[in-house]
Each structure stands twice: as C-alpha cells, then as structure tokens.
Amino acid sequence: MADTIPTKSDIFCSPTADLVLRSADDVDFCVHKLILATSSPFFDDMSRLPQPATASADPSAAPVATMAETSRTLDILLHLVYPDKHPAPFSLLELGRVLKAADKYDMDGVVGQLRQLLGLPMYVQAEPYRVFALACQYDLGDELIKRAAKNTLQCQLPHLTYPLTAPPELVDLSALQYHSLLTYRDRCLSALATMLYDTARNKGALPPSQAPISIQPIWVTCSCAAVSGVTDWFRYYVENTLASLRSGITVEAIRSVARVECTLTKIPPRCKLCATDGARDLLRFIDAAAAKMEETVVRVEFSSMKVEQI
C-alpha cells in the first residue's frame, strides 16, 4: 500500500518557511522556526538541535516534524501563535484539544489567550462544568475556576456513571476537585435555606414599602402556625423550593408560578386569614427572597481543596 501523500495547508504555506509541521492526518503546515521559538521553549530547543539529513530530492527543503495533533488542532494553535492571523470560531471540545497542545509545548502565551476565551459567556456560562474541569486540569487560575464553579450552580450535577456519559473534559477531573464542587454547592444551598427561613420569620423581611415593619407575614401570625411557628402550606413552599434549587440554583426556582399555585391550594379552607392574605404575603416574600438570592450566593466562597502532604 502506497504511503499517503501529505496535503499542504491553504493558510500556512509560506515559501519562506523553514520548518514543516506534519499533522497526524497528513497535512503539512509550513511555518517559521523563529515565530515558534518565540512562543514556545519546546520549539526553541528543537530549532537548536542538529537537523537530520533530508530524504527529499531538494536538499534545501525544510525539515519535517511529525506531530501527534490533528490538522484542525494545529490550525487553531498556529492561528493563535501567529500575530497576524485570527482563528475562526471553534467548539469547546476543539478548544480543549488546543489547550492540551499548548500546555504540551509550553506555549504560555497561547494558554493565556485560551484562558481568556474560556471566560467568555459562550463557554463559561453555557458549559460551566467543562470549563471548570479544563481550568482545574491546566491550572488556569482561581478566578476562572471560581467563575466556572459559580455558573455550575445553575445546572444539574452531571451523572458520572459507567459507562461515562458526562462531557469528555470531566474524565480528567480529580475526585478531590469534584468534591470541592459538591461542597461548594452544598454550602450555597445551606446559605439559601437559612436566607429563606430568616426572610420568612423576620419582621423586616418584607420591603417596608409593601408591609409595615411591625407586621409579620401571615404564615407566622396565623393560628395555623401556633404549633411549629410556620404554617404548613408555607413550609411546603420552602421545602419544595429548596428541592428545586438542588437541581439548579436559579431565580426561576424561587419564582415558579406552578409551585406558587400548588402552594396556595394547600391553604386550609377553614382558615379565612390565610385564605385572605396568604397569596399577597407569599408573593411579597418571593420578591424579597429573589432579591437576596444573588447576594447570598456571592458571600459563599469557593475553595479548592489541597492534598495534604504526609
């Protein structure tokens, strides 16, 4: 079987190139050693090594370096290395592959560019678990790790089952890093639970413009609350809201119209006070709790756990 004849990149095909990078799928990228050496100690060292004799009929032909990366990965990588070229949009999966190559070849400048790209909403908000995993794996800094961790709160936890159906980036996420994420989520849920109950019980929980500070909400003052301090129908709302927040910490979980409607059906018909004022006070409570939600979550610090040295 004849060897595959390499094709040449349409963009990286300069006649003045003094090095050819051949991708794993046999695409040749004609590049300049000086540009690569400036961006990578790996390629700087490579350029200083004695070059092997070429098998080409042209003795002046540029040496060929066979690469493990695909042509798509090398194309994006080189677009980020060359100052006059800008890569076309690429997926998070492709970004991860380029990040792996940039880390492998010690391209700190490219890693920095990829760090900034991962911080864009199209990545960190749309795919926070995957960005968190990449940021941890390649040590991209606490700021990006914390931003990604905060954005995971709005999503369900990925199912790390076998066979693995989670995103590929999570394969390299350590148990300790995943535990840090779970701990952070639990602490946020605990803080939100405290906020909800405090808002429900405090005299000043409702905005003064909506209710005098001397008046407590109906689920506290009604005789229905005499035994436990909070009416059963309001407890139903809070407990179901917290259950919903475990699937995703969003304002929508607090403002769910369906949950409000279901909660109001739990008001005992015999209690005229709750039947009269329950809906009004519940909606005021929801507005107050939703306004406090972001502030409550921001106060919870994410901390990456470190392995203690024995």
Residue pLDDT, tens place only, 125-177: 999 999 999 999 999 999 999 999 999 999 887 765 555 566 778 888 888 99
pTM over 0.85: no
Helix (H, G, I), strand (E, B) or coil at 15: coil
Distances (CA, A) of 257 to 173, 200, 231: 37, 19, 20
CA distance 29 to 64: 9
CA distance 214 to 208: 9
Residue 234: phi and psi, rounded to 5, are: -75, -35
Residue pLDDT, tens place only, 54-74: 555 454 578 999 999 999 999
Q: Per-residue pLDDT averaged across 218-245, rounded? A: 84
In sequence order, which residues have a C-beta less than 8 Å from that of residue 82 and are 6 or more positions away? 35
